[in-house]
Amino acid sequence: MNKTANVKSGRGDNLIWRGWRALHESALIYAAEVDYDSLMFPEFKGRSYLDDGIYEDLVFPLVGYCGIDISKFGFRSDLIGNSIWKRLRMKAIREESLVWKSILGEDSPISLMKNFDETKWSKNKALLKSGEPGELKSVEPRELKSIAKIASELIRLRSPENVELAALLYGLALIGSIMTLLGDSVCAICFRRARPGRKFCSEHSQSQSDGSEPSKQYTKYRTGRKAMLRGIQKGKLEVLRGSKMSIYKCNLSWLAESIFDYQTFDPEIFSQFEHQSESTIQENWDQYVIDQKVITAKREKKYLFDILSTRCPLTLNLLGGDVVFSYTYENLLKTLRDKVDYHESSDQFWAGKIMACECWLKLEIEVAPGKRGGGRKTQLRINEAIKMAATGMNKIEIASALGVSPSAISKWLARKPELRGKL
């Protein structure tokens, strides 16, 4: 698709469109979507509806800037999202055509980040290492989170009446770039996330920059390829990698965690504070939020411990054994990142990641170098070798007759006592 087509449609490889779509959908996931029972409300036809107040706050200032009256669209999230996009695109093409075309002309997310570093909005917060084009500033997954926060700041820079459109477009394009990198960041071999912009995780990368001994890395790479092929044969691919939709939803949740800091008041809880002063209400509410986070952490830790103790013995051993059951939730997450997936940036999806790790470790054991599965063809050759040895043939003669190397016969001798007795 050429650039002209991109400008007309606003889709294709348009990072701004990807950014808006991700912002809109992450706002719905985070708090803005109205939860209802489709059986009780069949007239809603299973469609997605949003809370206008929460949604406006989360995607501020786009609703006001684009002049959208949410109620006129019946609070339908799809209609509202598309309408905001159409008006934003029209404004961009009309008022900031150079910035619009410049962003659409970028070759990749890395290219966009590199060029963003040269704009006035970067505020010297270089997204990429100087002198190393295409290399992200850090391997820390939290680095993408800081880029997401910069993008959010650009979007929310001004009020609806005073929006700096070029900054807003760059903010959306940065979010689109992040989502593209996250979508491509699952290792091409295993279940782990790859370093943003890379094809393989550090476990299976053969890059010299990872500091590993080349021969060991190559062995890991080959074992990993075999394990993935075995996983495909056994129908385990979705357990290991998840579907494209599940990966996208995970990435949306990660984005929401990264850019939103929004709490909705629970009416039942708030009623307990109604006779108190405004400052006291805020203090009590803040404490309530902290307490809820502690409760959630305890519940999540227990859930992860249950999975490790009952279903994932190999992963438990990888983490250090039963000692992990004495860890705090924070130490458990740190250990999971150190041992299971260094680049997993969200705290919400470790249960699935642990299950994927267990599946992967089993596959690695099955295909590990030196492990033999008793292949039928090899066993037939060994049986022939035993018969030949019984006739008095030596190792070299047997190897020549069977079309194998003498070293193969030596390996068979080590594994088959019945053959050792004949030679």
Q: Evaluate whether residue 336 is within a structural domain.
A: no
- Tell me the percentage of the chain whose pLDDT exceeds 70: 82
Cα–Cα distance measured from residue 329 to residue 334, given in angstroms and rounded to the nearest whole number: 9
Question: pLDDT at position 55, please?
Answer: 93
Please give the residue that has the higher pLDDT: either 11 or 185: 185
Please give the residue that has the higher pLDDT: either 139 or 368: 368
Q: Evaluate whether residue 97 is within a structural domain.
A: yes
Question: pLDDT at position 138, please?
Answer: 38
| Average of per-residue pLDDT values in the chain | 81
Q: Evaluate whether residue 241 is within a structural domain.
A: no
Please give the residue that has the higher pLDDT: either 368 or 273: 368
Decide if pLDDT at 31 tops 80.
yes
Q: What is the mean pLDDT of residues 338-364?
A: 89
Question: pLDDT at position 7, please?
Answer: 39
Cβ–Cβ < 8 Å for 44, 205: no
Question: Which of 161, 183, 205 represents a domain boundary (last residue)?
Answer: 183
Decide if pLDDT at 5 tops 50.
no
Q: Evaluate whether residue 68 is within a structural domain.
A: yes
Q: Evaluate whether residue 32 is within a structural domain.
A: yes
Q: What is the DSSP string of 34-92?
A: PP--TTT-GGGTT--BB-HHHHHHHTTTHHHHTT--GGGGTTBHHHHHHHHHHHHHHHH
Cα–Cα distance measured from residue 413 to residue 411, given in angstroms and rounded to the nearest whole number: 5
Please state which of the ranges 94-98, 253-257, 301-305 shows the lowest mean pLDDT.
253-257
Q: Classify the phi-psi angles of 12: left when phi > 0, otherwise alpha if psi is within -120 to 50, otherwise beta.
A: left
- Which range, 263-272, 286-295, 349-358, 363-372, has the best average confidence (pLDDT)? 349-358
- For the stretch 133-155, pLDDT in tens is 444 443 355 578 888 988 999 99
Q: Evaluate whether residue 233 is within a structural domain.
A: no
Cα–Cα distance measured from residue 97 to residue 104, given in angstroms and rounded to the nearest whole number: 10
Question: pLDDT at position 1, please?
Answer: 34
Question: pLDDT at position 264, please?
Answer: 54
Cα–Cα distance measured from residue 407 to residue 423, given in angstroms and rounded to the nearest whole number: 14
Cα–Cα distance measured from residue 323 to residue 335, given in angstroms and rounded to the nearest whole number: 11
Question: pLDDT at position 127, please?
Answer: 57
| Number of separate domains in the chain | 2
Reported as a pLDDT band with limits 50, 70 and 90, residue 10 is: very low
Q: Evaluate whether residue 150 is within a structural domain.
A: yes
Please state which of the ranges 114-118, 136-140, 358-362 shows the lowest mean pLDDT.
136-140
Question: Which of 131, 148, 183 represents a domain boundary (last residue)?
Answer: 183
Cα torsion at 165, 169, 175, 180 (round to 10°)? 170
Question: Which of 159, 183, 207 represents a domain boundary (last residue)?
Answer: 183
Q: What angle do CA 23, 27, 30 make, to 5 degrees?
A: 135
Decide if pLDDT at 80 tops 80.
yes
Domain that holds residue 142: 3-183
Reported as a pLDDT band with limits 50, 70 and 90, residue 131 is: very low
Q: Evaluate whether residue 82 is within a structural domain.
A: yes
Q: Classify the phi-psi angles of 134: left when phi > 0, otherwise alpha if psi is within -120 to 50, otherwise beta.
A: left
Cα–Cα distance measured from residue 133 to residue 118, given in angstroms and rounded to the nearest whole number: 13
